[in-house]
Amino acid sequence: MVINPDKITENNANLYEDPSRFLISDLCQIVEDYMNEEQVREIYNSYLFSAQAHEGQYRKTGEPYIYHPISVARILAEMHMDSKSISAAILHDVIEDTKVTKENIAETFGDDVAELVDGVSKLTHIQFKNKKEQQAQNIQKVLLAMTRDIRVIMIKLADRLHNMRTLGVMRPEKKRRIARETLEIYVPIANRLGINTLRLELEDLGFRAVYPMRYRVLEHMISHASGHRKEVISKIHAALTSRLDEMKIDAGVIARRKHAFSLYKKMKDKNLAYKNIFDVYGIRVVVDSADDCYRVLGLVHNLFKPVAGKFKDYIAIPKENGYQSLHTVMFGPHGIPLEVQIRTSEMDMFAESGIAAHWLYKENSQQGVFDVHTRTREWLTGLLEMQQSAGDSVEFLENVKVDLFPDELYVYTPGGDIVKLPRNSTPVDFAYSVHTDVGHTCVACRLDNRFAPLNTPLYSGQTVEIITSKSSRPNPAWLNYVVTAKARANIRNYLKNMRADEAVMQGRRLLSRYLVDRKKTFDDLPGDTFDELLNEYGYETVNELLEDIGLGNRPASLIVRRLYPEDGSMSDSQPSEMKSLTPLDIRGTEGMVVSYAKCCYPIPGDHIVGILSKGRGIVIHQDGCKNIASDRLADSAIDVKWAEEVKNEFSCMTYLDVRNERGVLARLATIISDESANIEHVEVDDKDGVTTTISFLIALQGRSHLARIMRRLRSVPAVLKIWRN
């Protein structure tokens, strides 16, 4: 693309007419403070390129489009971002909104700038099923580009911030949609990267757009706070300053006000009225060293009584985003609770700037920069793992949302290392945080040297030891209680692959079974006809067809009829499945492609029938189950029988009418346990005050095992009747 500077100056003269606008000259003035002349020239050239590309384009505000990229670049310049980032910010919309290509940018400004611009650009040339998928795909693209270069997300956050500042011209529904996306995605990312100043502004802008009335009312309440509260803050400020001077601690004492969105979240989460929130204002003490932080903590606790359980030491154990500070809540004058934050000037710098401190303060505090960078790199690595495990962009985005809202707890490995996890994490989450293979093979755990179930919620300070077995595999039930995105994504991915493999094997069994009835084998399948069939049904490989057969999405009998239409020895008026000469053996080890109906709970020894269910494979019912009366005559029914050796355990529902006597439930449970059966669930229904119906869901091996249990249960005098469904 050829740039004509004279044309740009002429056609964009109106950029300089309004002094309230932020102009390229203002941007250059900011970057001149920390960049050399060549870098400033590069930024100005990117402006010329972008202005010409966007010529004739206007924002909904009515201003020339070039104002937006200049404003985005200003936000980054105030963070002291490098020249490549600021150039990319100025160019960030040219690929998306003009005819300029990535190659044009690379040719003029280099590969680094081109990659940054491409990483921020939306996917505009792909057709999406719906708005949700489009949003997920675009955010996934940005997040994955961020794993290659963290500057991508810095540009995207600055872009979103300026868009939020100018959101007023949008339609109400679009305004709310963009604001919700900001609060759900971009605010947590800014928080995760520790960029506090940017996060707070995004929060309040998003809050104002989604709930304008609530925002106005809350801001009015805060701005007209009673003089009593301000008086309390003044007294505490004076007392702290005086005591710090006495102890000769050089410190800055700052009174601060909570932001509207923070107060709104607290009111909503704790169901509080504004008048019942006393920490609208707080105190921040900034000192020179970590030792001084703890000295000031003691001073504060001597001056005012601390609130029990409200002390948090983020200096010893920083947050995931690198945030460090001491937090304590104390009872101030008149018993009003007040939060005090104590940190060093370096910690305060990182608390406000987060990962941006890498550019803003790269001259100093290299250790802090390294820590924040290391934590961010670990998180980005986790994002890549999630992306590889997720099935699609929507699932990936949901996993990221889970990962972005951690309320942290800290547990220890047996070796004494600290592991950070979100609140309500379980030992399974811990196992996957250590390593994916540890998670896949975990079978049990010890919490503080005591065995505990894998679904036990963890709490800070526990020592967690995971016991593994090479033969163990992830359990689908784990998805009901894991909370970390990494655990959820890896379990889903494993089960998805395992289910596909099981479905292929099951599909091969079903197809072979019908081929045997036609006196054919799988190897006898006609090649040309089979290829035509794959093309006709839209399959690329034989395994895709077999998987669909195994999952019940395509009956094997119809495939055989399609392959051998001339073999009409069986009447098509009756389902071929029910006339099959070779019932399918059920061994209990087929995995997720064979399930057992909860309406009749079939067990080995029962006469059974299989029903092909789309997406689930074969569902096994008792032959007389009333829920399959119509399915028996349909093409979905399939003859099955129990294999000669079935070693698995199966659930069976057993009912007992008993007299109301003390200890009868305990006696019945003891008998079941003595017979090596496991009680999975119990329900007790008091019928008339004299008799009670007890329902036991029991895991057992088959009808003979059940018969032994029922004989022993009948021997209990209080048992009046016993039966199963």
* Number of residues written out for the chain: 725
Helix, strand or coil for residue 290? helix
CA dihedral 504, 509, 514, 515 (to 10 degrees): 90
Beta bridge partners of 283: 255, 340
- Report how far residue 87's alpha carbon sits from residue 219's, in angstroms, rounded to the nearest whole number: 37
* Closest by Cα among 312, 74, 281, 88 to 198: 74
Beta bridge partners of 440: none
Helix, strand or coil for residue 272? coil
Contact 353, 79 (CB under 8 A): yes
- Kindly tell me the burial class for residue 560, based on how many C-beta atoms sit within 10 Å of its own C-beta (0-12, 13-18, 19 or more): buried
- The pair of structure tokens assigned to 23 is 């102009």
Catalytic: which of 55, 97, 408, 635?
97
- Report how far residue 171's alpha carbon sits from residue 523's, in angstroms, rounded to the nearest whole number: 63
Per-position b or e across 264-292, b if 16+ CB within 10 A of its CB = beebeeeeeeeeeebebbbbbbbbeebeb
- Strands 442-447, 464-468: pairing kind: antiparallel
CA dist 391 → 107, 127, 541 (Å): 36, 19, 20
Beta bridge partners of 468: 442
Helix, strand or coil for residue 116? helix
The C-alpha angle with vertex 695 and arms to 690 and 697, in degrees rounded to 5, equals 165
- Report how far residue 623's alpha carbon sits from residue 597's, in angstroms, rounded to the nearest whole number: 11
Catalytic: which of 63, 96, 112, 219?
96
CB neighbour list of residue 280: distance below 8 Å, 6 or more residues apart: 222, 225, 229, 257, 258, 263
Helices and strands (H, E) in the chain, number of each type: 29, 20
- Report how far residue 103's alpha carbon sits from residue 109's, in angstroms, rounded to the nearest whole number: 10
Amino acid at residue number 486:
K
- Report how far residue 76's alpha carbon sits from residue 91's, in angstroms, rounded to the nearest whole number: 13
- Report how far residue 447's alpha carbon sits from residue 458's, in angstroms, rounded to the nearest whole number: 9
CA dist 636 → 514, 561, 572, 631 (Å): 14, 15, 14, 7
- The pair of structure tokens assigned to 127 is 């057709």
Is 547 in the active site?
A: no
CA dihedral 313, 314, 315, 316 (to 10 degrees): 70
Is 96 in the active site?
A: yes
How many C-beta atoms lie closer than 10 Å to residue 370's C-beta? 12
The sign of the torsion formed by the CA atoms of 175, 180, 186, 191 equals positive
- Kindly tell me the burial class for residue 502, based on how many C-beta atoms sit within 10 Å of its own C-beta (0-12, 13-18, 19 or more): buried
Beta bridge partners of 343: 286
Give the residue numbers annotated as catalytic, written as ranges. Answer: 96-97
